[in-house]
Structure 1
Amino acid sequence: MTGCVPCRSGPRGLRPVTGAEDRQVRDRLAELGLSVQGIDGALRRAESERNFCTPLDPVSLPGNIFWGRTIRFLRETYIPEGWTSASPSNVPLLVAPSGDFAIAASSGSSETGYAALTPSTRYPKGNAVMKRVEANRQLLLFGETEVEPEQQEAGNGIPTWFLLYHHLKTDQGTRLHAELSFPNDPGSRGKISSWYERIILPWIDFEGFTPFVDDADDQGGIDIPIERLP
């Protein structure tokens, strides 16, 4: 693997959190070939489709729709710019034009989007996702390594960023917090909670939209974590 190092300061130096009000957000995203507008547009479109749900739908449906549509709309936005899609081990990814890193999406805890707090993924992740986080950790510890393309499924063996998002109920409707963050440790309980770099995105207010704050989401039934009983 050559090319993009996930963080500009090098693999051993922890980067500060890039806050949503800082011009560095746009500059940092631009270095990755992304933009606030591109991600914002994908999230807004995903929320619009999620809002078609009603309380009569299965409780997991709004979250699954938002997660799935976020991935789809990110792909629709960036594939014309040379990005590609891949789903190694059923983990849907957006892969950079260089092939050097990928982006996954996941719901996050209530700390998502706050620079002063440390978020985690909302739910435990399965083995395929955690292997990607372990690959991030190996990169940070030992630097980039060459991977033979023919020995890897498309999208495997490369660093993975996570677009975390969290819905918060407000008096007017729903506020969506989001960040693009690079995990550096798979943890021990299945939830990703350690981040090497975090890029905090501006929040989005959806006035009058149904909150659906208690739904389940992302990869339910696809990548199920299994733990040995003590």
Structure 2
Amino acid sequence: MTPKQIFNLQTSSNQELLEAIGVSEAELNSVVLQCYRAFASVSPLHPKGYSGTSGWADGTQAIRAILLPKSWKPTNPKGQPRVVSPGGRYAITVSSGDVNTGNPNQTPQTKNAKGAQTSKSVAFNSRQGDLFRSEASSTVELPSRDDEQMLWILLYYVDLAGEEIRYELSCPIAIGDNGKVDGWSARIIMPAIRLGTPDPFGAPDPEQNLDIPVIPKL
């Protein structure tokens, strides 16, 4: 599905779109770097596939820690960890994406299938209409009053070959038969982060090239 609106975060007007939601590029940058640090810290001795789980879990902790001082609140509806804006209008959850993440010419999917809460939020989002009145405007149309928030997904992809992390804050409106989110009403695409970039909030980079012995099974 082709997204209705794609915003490349290169102009002040698009910076204002993030501000209207209540987050900043620096905050999301720090969250994604925390995802990468956790991803990169996983050793060959960890269970297979743990790098993705570790990145997602630490990214969730990071976005909550960063936004709680701004009166956002952590919630876990039906087991989905998210953080909710003051007033309860918006929610953000963290998810790894596929190789198309951060590419304005391709439509990304979440890396893994999602559950019932994401499906509920996608249905809610799809009823909200256009999120932004125009690309040049920083005004966000508010969702209707409901016990559900408009969900945004902080989607990230670690491209080891390209030595960068691509990420975007996007609003899901469709889920494929495989259970993965594959349609978006708006995508706010951030500039890619080069691996080794310092965290704007000062957290250390992961140690690189660790020489960890692999113990064979007995």
Quick check: 1:103 aligned with 2:92? yes
Provide the aligned length of Structure 1 versus Structure 2: 186
Per the alignment, residue 135 of structure 2 pairs with: none
On the 8 A contact 2:21/2:90 being kept in 1, the answer is no
- RMSD of aligned alpha carbons: 2.1
Quick check: 1:170 aligned with 2:161? yes
Residues 146 and 38 of structure 1: CA distance in aligned 2, closer, same or farther (over 3 Å)? closer
Quick check: 1:184 aligned with 2:182? no
| Identical counterparts, % of pairs | 26
Counterpart of 1:39 in structure 2: which amino acid? L
The partner residue of 1:135 within 124, 129, 135 is: 124
Per the alignment, residue 23 of structure 1 pairs with: 12
Q: In the TM superposition, what is the alpha-carbon distance from 1:179 to its structure 2 partner?
A: 0.2
Q: In the TM superposition, what is the alpha-carbon distance from 1:15 to its structure 2 partner?
A: 4.9
Q: In the TM superposition, what is the alpha-carbon distance from 1:123 to its structure 2 partner?
A: 1.7
Per the alignment, residue 197 of structure 1 pairs with: 186
Quick check: 1:85 aligned with 2:84? no
Per the normalisation by structure 1, the TM-score is: 0.74
Quick check: 1:66 aligned with 2:55? yes
SS of the residue 2:57 aligns to: helix
On the 8 A contact 2:78/2:116 being kept in 1, the answer is no
Q: In the TM superposition, what is the alpha-carbon distance from 1:34 to its structure 2 partner?
A: 0.6
On the 8 A contact 1:25/1:200 being kept in 2, the answer is no
Measured in 1, the distance between the counterparts of 2:143 and 2:28 equals: 27
Q: In the TM superposition, what is the alpha-carbon distance from 1:47 to its structure 2 partner?
A: 2.0
On the 8 A contact 1:107/1:122 being kept in 2, the answer is yes
On the 8 A contact 2:165/2:193 being kept in 1, the answer is yes
Residues 179 and 19 of structure 1: CA distance in aligned 2, closer, same or farther (over 3 Å)? same
SS of the residue 2:172 aligns to: strand
On the 8 A contact 2:91/2:150 being kept in 1, the answer is yes
Measured in 2, the distance between the counterparts of 1:137 and 1:106 equals: 19
SS of the residue 2:181 aligns to: coil
Q: In the TM superposition, what is the alpha-carbon distance from 1:201 to its structure 2 partner?
A: 0.9
On the 8 A contact 1:164/1:180 being kept in 2, the answer is yes
Q: In the TM superposition, what is the alpha-carbon distance from 1:122 to its structure 2 partner?
A: 1.3
Q: In the TM superposition, what is the alpha-carbon distance from 1:57 to its structure 2 partner?
A: 1.1
> What stretches of structure 1 of length at least 5 have no aligned partner?
1-13, 148-155, 211-230
Mean Cα displacement is larger for which, 124-133 or 113-122? 124-133
SS of the residue 2:41 aligns to: coil
Q: In the TM superposition, what is the alpha-carbon distance from 1:209 to its structure 2 partner?
A: 4.9
> What stretches of structure 2 of length at least 5 have no aligned partner?
131-141, 197-206, 210-218
